[in-house]
Chain A
Amino acid sequence: MIEATGLSKVYGSKTAVEGVSFTVKAGQVTGFLGPNGAGKSTTMRMIMGLDRPTSGTVTVNGLHYADHKAPLHEVGALLDAKAVHISRSAYNHLRAMAATHNIPTSRVHEVIEMTGLEAVARKKAGGFSLGMGQRLGIANALLGDPQTLILDEPVNGLDPEGVLWVRNLVRYLAGQGKTVFLSSHLMSEMAQTADHLIVIGRGKIIADAPVQDIIAGTRQVKTLVRTSAATQLSALLSGDGVTVDQGQPETLEVTGLDARKIAQVALDNRVLVYELTPQQSSLEDAYFDLTKDEVEYHSHLTGGPAGEFAPETAPATAGK
């Protein structure tokens, strides 16, 4: 379990993280989502004690990371795939890291096998591709068989097979009751991997809720309507809280009314409708809605139940 309370980090005149509080629970995959420069990496570095918080505290399993007797058994972290000496082999790098905690060499071989690095383990890490570097970073994180896993952009540079592997691995580890905290700017990846999401924007938490709630709650349902009388139907549907976008000829995008009501209006007015498709709101849409203006949504989203997530006045053209 990771607990951050009022965590802030100021670099000179730039505030990277501002009064962030959150809890990452064991037994599930928690995604840490945010645009570049939002403060994801800084927050993770503060968890690992690499950066000293300007104010606030963060603990892992009840203690500051540095206060644990066996830090690598508590937390395994991949913060930066390039945190390796370029002239040292992957095997020797892992062996040196393992030595600090008296982790046997057999475990080094184990993680090399787990991450599929056998073929390149004796080669210099400086020559590794981005994907290989990521695998080495993940091997390093798994070395101490930690209770908590922190991965900063783990699928960066991985091939599709590697992406799938990471997804299965973190799901498996969470299933084992471990805490998994993983950051990404890839929303599709998060939608498939994470159970819970913490969204950060410009150093502040703008959402902290289960993935499904964020997808369902942020955006009103949009329905695609194809009709022979687009202009007429558009006028009929328009009203309070309903917005209609007319894109291509004979095509409408209706927000604020569900498919059943649209069909009813069309039937009542004898308008021909030849397609009526509810659009599944994606995490991507939700994400853009959230990060568009973090201050506006801040009070609605933090800690509130799912139903309260929908903003009262969602601009219709958002997320296009």
Chain B
Amino acid sequence: MTTMTETQTSRVRSTAGTKGVTFAGVLRSEWIKLFSLMSTRILLLLTLVAIIGVGALAVLIRFSFLDEMARQARDQGQTLTPEMMSQTFPPGSGFDLYNLPNAGLQIGILVLGSLAVLFISSEYATGMIRSTMNAVPRRTPAFVAKAILLAVISYVITTIAAVATFLIAMPVFQGLGLDLDWSTDGVLYSVFTGGLYVAGVALIGLSLGALLRNSAGGITVLVGLFFVLSIAASFMTFIPGDFWKYVPQYLPSDAGGRFLSIGHTDGVIDPWQGGLIFLGYVLLFLVPAMIVLKKRDV
């Protein structure tokens, strides 16, 4: 059998290459696929702009709020110290300045998550998936290559946007006398973990695309999972009894949100626990998607 394969390969003309399938080749193939679509290039650029834009808006809102407070204090003949300003943001309220880099994260989740669904569901819709599976008949390498590519791109874009957002925020709040720079507690953590969360959402999106093989269905489930479910669960807190108050934090979006905050807060899971729960959700979608992709007829 081996000798047969060797003779077959040696008969191949050199112009077509003789290396065979390599993972690096599959990765490059997926890269070409992703960036050879005009829509992807435009979408990625707009996502970057949108995340920074929403971040800048968040900076503006907080600045106006503080500026107004300072003005009122001045009118009453007092001076508002930076310490007093800081205290207007109680810990865990979500108004901390350290997580400003991730202010536009929801846009990233929505767009990059949808892009991830489309990256594979559009192949099913157009029939491209059959060409893909012909070239990579073991299938799993193609899916893994897609996953790596999406995770890296999501991480890079989100992190660039986070740095840019913070570069906008820093001088604004320093101008108010607030202590905010790269060394502020939680800033670097926020800058480098926001992308992990978005990358995880992208992986869930890719998995949904592979499982449902349908663009609209995949995006709908993704939005349901990360936006609608969280809102719906917030109503649970109105149910009498303490138990229901602790349920929503285990949802993918809330666990991810906890992962992006710093420090221990009583009554909620710690960031590392949130991170682990979120990772669990990613695997919960990723593993079945890989199994189904390998087994199902295309």
B partners with A: yes
Q: Determine the residue in chain B with the shortest Cβ distance to A111.
A: B16
Q: Is B45 among interface residues, defined by CB-CB distance under 8 A?
A: no
Within 8 A of A (CB), among B1-42: 1, 4-5, 8-9, 11-13, 15-22, 25-26, 28-33, 36-39
A85 touches B128 (CB 8 A): yes
Q: In the assembly, what is the distance between CA of A26 and CA of B233, in Å?
A: 64
A101 touches B127 (CB 8 A): no
Q: In the assembly, what is the distance between CA of A68 and CA of B133, in Å?
A: 13
Q: Which residues of B contact A84 (CB under 8 A)?
A: 126-128, 131
Q: Is A82 among interface residues, defined by CB-CB distance under 8 A?
A: yes
Q: In the assembly, what is the distance between CA of A66 and CA of B298, in Å?
A: 14
B19 touches A102 (CB 8 A): yes
Q: In the assembly, what is the distance between CA of A126 and CA of B11, in Å?
A: 35
Q: Which residues of B contact A147 (CB under 8 A)?
A: 8, 11-12
Contact pattern, B 104-148, Cβ under 8 Å of A = 1, otherwise 0? 000000000000000000110011111101111110000000000
- Stretch from A137-145, A166-174, A240-248 forming part of the interface with B: A137-145
B29 touches A97 (CB 8 A): yes
Q: Which residues of B contact A89 (CB under 8 A)?
A: 36
Closest CB-CB distance, A2 to chain B, in whole Å? 13
A71 touches B21 (CB 8 A): yes
Q: Which residues of B contact A101 (CB under 8 A)?
A: 17, 19-21, 25, 135
Q: Is B242 among interface residues, defined by CB-CB distance under 8 A?
A: no
A69 touches B16 (CB 8 A): no
Q: In the assembly, what is the distance between CA of A100 and CA of B32, in Å?
A: 10
B15 touches A106 (CB 8 A): yes
B138 touches A66 (CB 8 A): yes
Q: In the assembly, what is the distance between CA of A103 and CA of B295, in Å?
A: 28
Closest CB-CB distance, A99 to chain B, in whole Å? 4
From B18, B26, B38, B122, give the contact of A73 (CB < 8 A): B18
| Count of chain A residues with a beta carbon within 8 Å of a chain B beta carbon | 50
Once A48-B134, A49-B133, A85-B128 are accepted as A-B contacts, the answer to whether A73 and B20 lie under 8 Å apart by CB is yes
Q: Determine the residue in chain B with the shortest Cβ distance to A103.
A: B17
Q: Is B266 among interface residues, defined by CB-CB distance under 8 A?
A: no
Closest CB-CB distance, B10 to chain A, in whole Å? 10
Q: Determine the residue in chain B with the shortest Cβ distance to A178.
A: B11
Once A61-B5, A74-B8 are accepted as A-B contacts, the answer to whether A87 and B297 lie under 8 Å apart by CB is no
Q: In the assembly, what is the distance between CA of A143 and CA of B29, in Å?
A: 14
Q: Determine the residue in chain A with the shortest Cβ distance to B16.
A: A145
Within 8 A of B (CB), among A59-87: 61-63, 65-66, 68-74, 77, 79-80, 82-87
Once A69-B21, A85-B33, A147-B11 are accepted as A-B contacts, the answer to whether A77 and B16 lie under 8 Å apart by CB is no
Within 8 A of B (CB), among A19-63: 45, 48-52, 61-63
Tell me which of B11, B15, B17, B127 has the highest count of chain A C-beta atoms within 10 A of its own C-beta: B17
Q: Is A222 among interface residues, defined by CB-CB distance under 8 A?
A: no
Closest CB-CB distance, B181 to chain A, in whole Å? 44
A85 touches B130 (CB 8 A): no
A interface vs B, CB < 8 Å?
Answer: 45, 48-52, 61-63, 65-66, 68-74, 77, 79-80, 82-89, 92-93, 95-104, 106-107, 110, 126, 140, 143-145, 147
Q: Nearest 9 A-B pairs (CB), nearest first?
A: A70-B20, A92-B36, A66-B137, A145-B16, A99-B29, A102-B19, A96-B32, A83-B130, A103-B17
Known: A61-B5, A85-B122, A87-B38. 20 other contacts (CB 8 A): A49-B133, A50-B134, A50-B297, A51-B298, A61-B4, A70-B18, A71-B137, A73-B12, A83-B126, A83-B130, A85-B37, A88-B33, A92-B32, A95-B36, A100-B25, A101-B21, A103-B17, A140-B131, A145-B12, A147-B11
